[in-house]
Structure 1
């Protein structure tokens, strides 16, 4: 257990949490957290389970590995120099089509995003907008939930594929495909030093969270959205 205290501190700092904020999130006293990190006491197994669930690390990693070292060794290829399979569909004129991933296909997309046959079965179309270049790859994703209001649930987000994740502009809106959370639409901030992305919602009722770059499968930069939820008419002024 020689790495346990170091691991607990490393994981907390990666999430940019103070000891008091972590205490609130996992239900462990701040003084106890301080004692664990300074190796003045050892957490019970029930406490370790809370750490394991919150940080998504198994008990063996927490107790035996040097997580800070393994995180550095397992850094993701952020520039996209290694092969990333991105199947596309073209029309008879060899012009690239835009594939649509509706909500009902979101779960399937997590497993079939690199499968040309699956992409071919999705709705595909073209959009005659000057803002869309013929030399780039686009995809449309339908979102659900209200975490990105005022963009309403059910909207279709028109996106451009991002090969080099180092070019993501901080606080830009992106569709991020992750192995754990599937398709999420968030404002993204890079934290390449810690091999992760910070994902933030526009709706303040939703908490921000981090995702390891090793869990990221695709990133698509949002360009605009299409919605069929028109705003309600304003109420007439009462005299």
Structure 2
């Protein structure tokens, strides 16, 4: 399992879907927002949690089609399907590799980019915590979407259409948690909902992704 994780991490970086692509897109979104809504610091402070969460979500979306596509193209997915390792574990490892190369760098970069949006001091900790809890769900859901569309020509657009509605609850509760903390309100309910979504996706979706892959490999 560790060897497969290391292999996927190397492939993600070499294919251009790793650290650089997600961070660059995240930075572009954050930099362009003040040009679109104006430089007013009060307005930027209000929308900062939502913009940072939306930027992180879209940055994760960029590299979803690479999770399984490379293995499908070179035949590695067929070999993995016949390996002693269960398909559920293979899918989970690929989700973890995607999170390490995409989600984790976004979590670490969020406080720095928050300065560009005048994020209040009270929002940094909750924002990082919400991203740390919520971004694994984005990777697991994205892996499920990649399993549904693997092997399809020009499946990137279809993958986005399938995954985006599933991302909405994570986006809502993640941004709400940071917003409530900034306003001095109780952020426990959105935190619990966000954690519940992440735990639920990690517990259930690897089995669904594995089942879909078995059907596509027949």
TM-score w.r.t. the length of structure 2 is 0.23
Bigger Rg, structure 1 or 2: 1
> Which protein has the bigger helix share?
2
> Which protein has the bigger strand share?
1
